[in-house]
Chains A and B, each alone.
Chain A
Amino acid sequence: MITDLIESRDLLEVKELAVDFGAAPAVRGVDLRLKRGETLGIVGESGSGKSVTALAVLGLLPGSASVRGSVRLEGRELVGLPNRELAKIRGNKIAMVFQDPLSAFTPVYRIGDQIVEALRIHQSLDRAAARKRAAELLDLVGIPEPERALDNFPHEFSGGMRQRAMIAMAIANDPDILLADEPTTALDVTIQAQVLDVLRKAQRETGAALVLVSHDLGVIAGMADRVAVMYAGRVVETAGVDELFARPRHPYTLGLIGAVPRLDTGGGPLVPIPGNPAALGDLPPGCPFAARCPLVQDRCRTAEPPLAGTDGHLAACVRADELAERRPAPSEVYPVPTVPPPAVSVPREEREQVLRVTGLTKTFPVLKGTVFKRRVGDVYAVDGVELDIRHGETLGLVGESGSGKSTTLFELLRLGRPESGRIELLGQDTAGLDRAGAHKLRADIQIVFQDPMASLDPRLPIGDVIAEPLLAQHAPRELIARRVPELLRQVGLEPAHAERYPHQFSGGQRQRISIARALAVQPRLLVLDEPVSALDVSVQAGVLNLLQQLKAELGLAYLFVSHDLSVIRHLSDRVSVMYLGRTVESGSVEAVFEQPRHPYTRALLSAVPLPDPPAERARTRVLLAGDPPSPTERQTGCRFRTRCQVYAALDADRRGRCEQQAPPLAQAAPGRDHAAACHYPEA
């Protein structure tokens, strides 16, 4: 935050940086400047060259890469420096925090030994002193019992803990620059909030400048002082964080801002950026964004616009001045689809029940031994889930990884007798179904998976993929021949695409194919398991819009699983929050998001970064302590107790209740659609 005005010379200056892998360019002329103590956010979609830029600064690219241009650290040129010299700078002056800390630690050495080694490379410390310093570092990043943690192996840490340890190692030698490449992408929101907090703290302690690479505008908005937006291997816009979010001058930035669903606003259609991120291999002359740009003119295609502008706000667009002056909203520039009015307009109570789940549990045995398997314990993956979906509505199911979301879905889709509890699908108890009954009911519940590549058989042309559920339901040939083109068109693809194989499509298109397949048998309930989390924001927006359109048109009900609360907020009518296999809060989206009652929901909501810098700075956060406990032990009382901020503030008397009684899911008021499982709920 503190920009050192006295030291006005740039700490790091990147000029015309270009990286090729063989003939294919990955970075095509990046200019960046970084002042002491400053945080620079680099944002862009996958493949835009963010990581390659960061690695090039560190000289960590593989030998197949050819690097041109200049990277100056305090005036000293780093490009072309021999590896031995670079190694001295790495860790000492510039340190890196990777996305996947597991790959950054050597799995066979203890965490402590690795930090000690990092310390002793650059400082003359004896082992004992280095070890003491390592423990201090772990303590600084908030790892409990640092002395003991030193002796752990990397795999014994959870993802959040590993990322903290990674940060501890990065700041071990008091670097001037911390490079963090997607440091929180693989983490849950509450853990992400912790890690970002640690990063801020680390930066404060060391006074280092931070380069934060992320695809998440919210994270950037909350952390950065200045932002560089990358597209197709170049910086297309750079400005101070407030300026950039409030007055973007490049259409791409404007589109990105409009494409992100937001936690603090309701669910109108998003602004999808048409098309796919540019392939760097064969860029046409002129502006690389031209193929997707709604403001494109003939002159855009002649030469690539340079990064230019005034007052530190630069944009690479021929119409940047116009945009600066006019300041349009994203939806004024990009075509936004209109969502037709919902097909179902009767009040909720009168609508047909599609799914009702009560007290669902699912336990997996923990087995030991290779030849003779012994049961040594249980994983309580699902332990009291309640769901309620009516015709034409979307229920968002939220929870952190490991909270039992996917297990719940698989239990539903099994259409069998649950371990305990009751599942009613369209009024039929699944426990009482015979084979034929279950087979018939299958047509009414269909699923769309998270990873569109993995869920489509790579050996099957997509026409056959889409026909599969119809075949399974023994639909006649003529019907299949008619349905397939119709479905393709319905999800925004062309009927002629039926002959192509899945790998010939982009991620967003593949997810559309998955949706088409699920819709083939005209289900009543569509189960969506993280359907957009593998997609870039601009593409995600298109898929979310499609889902909204289909729902309105076909009167579908959705069970929408996501860890992304903004997406849930955007798409859902009702929401159900899970923690450690239990439903802890449920109700209408407005009620839950505006007046969360369960302490966990409140922490979750406050952890979601907003893509709005002033709002993000003004928020007060509820930071949860630690990781979720292991689901292998079944605690008495409330399962959230170990991390609950409300419990922590209670006196011993009132704590007793949390410790002894598991709180039931109780309605806030009779007739109000809002329930929470907490003894001391808010309001």
Chain B
Amino acid sequence: MTTLITEATLPAAEAPAPGGRLRLVLSRLTAAKGVLVGGTIVLLLFLLAFGGPFITHWDYATPDYSALRQPPSGTHWFGTNGLGQDVFAQTVRGLQKSLIIGLLVALFSTVVASLVGACAGYFGGWIDRGLTFLVDLLLVFPSFLIITIISPKLKGAGWIAFVVLLAAFNWMITARVIRSMTRSLREREFVRAAQFMGVHPLRIIVRHILPNVASFLITDATVAVGGAVMSETALSYFGFGVRAPDVSLGTLLAAGTDQAPVFPWLFYFAAGLLVLFVLAINLIGDGLRDALDPTTEAARPARTSRSSK
């Protein structure tokens, strides 16, 4: 204390300033085991999904009439289905679709939900009323019905349109929660402090509001990935969404469910990969949440003693 002032006025020859939150979060992330395991699994799944087609000479759509409903063997690794299509080729193809659809839907819906929710909560007034009205409107729409009506019309646009459609009906509940969380955060002093410093409102949302609702967002997004894969499955089952000859894990499961007891290879490979994927996503989600929350014990860098001042 005594020498504080004299010290402070000395010219500072400083090491470059530390890289701030981003770098800290990254270093905490890499220190977490769950993220590492989950990330590795997801990476392997992606490798399988996109590399798989190159290691087998079977095509997912072309039937092999010499092998109908054959169990796994040297020629057909995962066996074949009733049409003589190679199940391995179909599974990796389906995995490809499901991975992309699941991740994209979760990403889109979380981004939309957090932006809409945070803006409604932060700005209040007519922006809030408008956005809340939109949310309520979309919530009362029977989304499943609408998707089934719209999706045939989007045939030409392909699976990306399907992703957008799924995401469009998947963000409202999250947005509502984010809105109410934002409303209470907005009254907190650190947000006020930022306002008085002249920080731009959108920047306040990105820098202060969203990180403070991140735990919820991430948990929600991991649930959403699973949910999206499930929705896709359900829709595909009824013939909407991904349609033959294209396949997804959903269509595969739908096709394999009733044959599972007799021809297990039609069902369990797809199901196993789906479970593995959802599990890995949850591991990553948990790790991410802990890395963003500085108060969690596990990922905290060794607690430094409070130096006395």
Contacts and interface: CB of A to CB of B under 8 A. Distances in A.
Interface of A: 272, 274-276, 291-292, 335-338, 340, 413, 438-439, 442-443, 446-447, 449-451, 454-461, 463-464, 467-469, 471-473, 480-482, 484-486, 489-490, 492-495, 498-501, 503-506, 508-509, 512, 514, 517, 521, 542, 545-546, 549, 553
B190 A454 contact: yes
Given A461-B24, A489-B12, A512-B309, A484 B17 contact: yes
Given A449-B192, A455-B193, A458-B212, A503 B295 contact: yes
Contacts of B17: 463, 467, 480-482, 484-485, 498
Interface stretch (B3-11, B123-131, B263-271): B3-11
A477 B203 CA distance: 17
A473 B196 contact: no
Interface string B6-50: 011100101111101100100000000000000000000000000
A428 B217 CA distance: 44
Contact of A460 (B7, B21, B200, B308): B21
Contacts of A449: 189, 192-193
B302 to A, nearest CB: 11
Interface residues of B, number: 43
Given A442-B197, A469-B197, A549-B5, A509 B309 contact: yes
Contacts of A272: 1
Contacts of B199: 468-469, 471-472
Given A449-B189, A509-B309, A468 B21 contact: no
Nearest to B22: A464
A528 to B, nearest CB: 13
B309 to A, nearest CB: 5
Given A459-B208, A485-B12, A499-B24, 6 more contacts: A335-B1, A335-B2, A461-B18, A463-B18, A467-B17, A495-B15
B295 A463 contact: no
Contacts of A505: 306
Interface of B: 1-2, 4-5, 7-9, 12, 14-18, 20-21, 24, 188-190, 192-194, 196-200, 203, 207-208, 211-212, 214, 292-295, 303-304, 306-309
A472 B198 CA distance: 6
23 contacts: A274-B1, A275-B309, A276-B308, A292-B308, A439-B198, A451-B189, A455-B190, A459-B293, A469-B197, A471-B199, A472-B197, A472-B203, A480-B17, A485-B12, A485-B14, A485-B17, A486-B8, A489-B12, A495-B15, A498-B17, A499-B24, A501-B294, A506-B306
Given A446-B196, A458-B294, A463-B18, A276 B24 contact: no
Contact of B198 (A460, A464, A473, A484): A473
Given A446-B197, A455-B193, A480-B17, A494 B24 contact: no
A96 to B, nearest CB: 33
Contacts of B214: 459
Contacts of A458: 190, 212, 294-295
A491 B159 CA distance: 57
Nearest to B17: A481
A292 B17 CA distance: 31
A468 B65 CA distance: 68
B12 A494 contact: no
Contacts of B307: 494
Given A486-B14, A489-B12, A492-B4, A276 B306 contact: yes
B14 A468 contact: no
A337 B309 CA distance: 13
Contacts of B207: 457, 460, 468
Closest CB pairs A-B (n = 4) = A275-B308, A442-B198, A501-B294, A455-B189
Contact of A472 (B7, B192, B200, B308): B200
Contacts of A438: 198
Nearest to B214: A459
A457 B1 contact: no
Contacts of B294: 458-459, 461, 501, 503-504
A460 B16 CA distance: 19
Contact of A468 (B2, B5, B197): B197
A243 B17 CA distance: 53
Given A335-B1, A472-B200, A492 B12 contact: no
B196 A413 contact: yes
B1 A447 contact: no
B4 A454 contact: no
Contacts of A482: 12, 14, 17
A275 B294 CA distance: 24
A485 B295 CA distance: 24
Given A467-B20, A472-B197, A499-B18, A459 B304 contact: no
B306 A456 contact: no
B171 to A, nearest CB: 23
A553 B200 CA distance: 31
B1 A545 contact: yes
B185 to A, nearest CB: 10
A499 B16 CA distance: 13
Given A464-B20, A500-B304, A512-B309, A337 B5 contact: yes
A276 B197 CA distance: 30
B259 to A, nearest CB: 50
A546 B4 contact: yes
B196 A464 contact: no
Most buried by B among A274, A457, A542: A457
Nearest to B10: A489
B292 to A, nearest CB: 7
A337 B4 contact: yes
B12 A486 contact: yes
A497 to B, nearest CB: 8
Contacts of A446: 196-197
B205 to A, nearest CB: 13
Given A456-B190, A458-B295, A473-B198, A498 B4 contact: no
